[in-house]
Amino acid sequence: MRLYLLLIALTFATSFLLTPLVRRVGLRVGPAELRDRDVHTAPIPKLGGVAMIVAVLLGVAVASRVDFLSGSFRDPGPALAVVAGALLALVIGVADDLWDLRWYFKLAGQTLIGFVIAAGGVRLEAMPVGWIGIPSESVQIALTVFLIVLTMNAINFVDGLDGLAAGVGAIGAMAFFVYCYWLARTISQYDNSNFSAMLMAILLGACLGFLPHNFNPAKIFMGESGVMIIGLLMSVAAIMVTGDVGAQEGYRFRNIPAYMPILLPVAVIMLPLLDLALAVIRRTANGRSPFSADRGHLHHILVDGGYTQRQAVLVLYLWSAIVAFGSVAFIFKEFDWRIIVGINLLAALGAALLTMWPWLRRSLAAWKKRRGA
């Protein structure tokens, strides 16, 4: 655990210290122009994802030299694929931040990243529920690419308020790290190294290091490169951890909930996935392209409803934490599942009341006014 914590500290420091330098470059090349759907009132430079990607690459390089994590690099393919994917994300993301690429160019770039990852050996070889094998290599690659592109776009859809994507990424990475580390300890008491746990530790540090510069009022945005590196690492970790569990003999994993490898990755990005699904439905119903922009995202609804940017972000942090850590809690057999369900329901109820408070307050005021009249 101490080495994972040092890895988090390393990527945190790198991201935190490098972001101001990247911001200066962003100011020189020109900050992003304001768009109708934006909630900020002054142009702010992008390119913050560059600092995050450099932190990730440094984290992977250092981890590859640590004896404790040597088990994660016995097969160098996945690590090299992650590095190649991160470099592609850097190039595509910077190009989009500078020249605002068309959506189909970005989609093509994300698809290319997915193929690079799959070529490195990171593939979804079995469905986590029931461990149904996927014998076709082409289907494995297609599902892997789809998952990577889906996750990148889901993260992109919540990148609309200061600190939102970085905070949600950090919360998801922390929850996923807890599960992956617990999984490694359960598999073997002698070797606690785990590739997915390593990636989530690296991502956690990179997001936390960037967040102080990005939280409201933001001094810099992560841009497309930051969105893609978060989605890339989360999707790769989800695919790899599925393989970790599926490869084990049955008797060693009777106590691990069979649904966790598929539930947890979905849970940690539930908020972005929900926003993505609602946006696709909303835009398609209005006869528009699913890739067109609007102000109908969850964070826009909260701000338009009466929350400040900070308050809206904190509310969405709360929901992300409840879903992610509420799911992780089920892996610990020390806690009765009924107690966990009860706590989750109470937390969700409290979060729902907090989320609806501006509307409830206005309804209450209107009701009092009618009574007074």
Binding site, annotated residues for Mg(2+): 156
Cis, peptide link before residue 217, omega less than 30° from 0: yes
Q: Give the CA angle between residues 47, 55, 156 to the nearest 5°.
A: 45
Task: Give the closest residue to 171 by CA, choosing from 62, 271, 297.
Answer: 271
Give the residue ranges of the annotated binding site.
Answer: 156
DSSP string, 168-222: HHHHHHHHHHHHHHHHHHHH-SS----HHHHHHHHHHHHHHHHHHHHSSSPS---
Residue type, 127: M
CA distance linking residue 255 with residue 257, whole number of Å: 6
Backbone phi, psi, residue 127, to 5°? -75, 130
Coil, helix or strand for 257? coil
**Which amino acid type is present at position 249?**
E
Query: What whole-number distance in Å separates Cα of residue 148 and Cα of residue 88?
Result: 13
Cα distance between residue 26 and residue 21, in whole Å = 9
Euclidean distance between CA atoms 155 and 190, whole angstroms: 36
Judged by DSSP in three states, 102 sits in coil
Q: Are 236 and 89 in contact (CB under 8 A)?
A: no
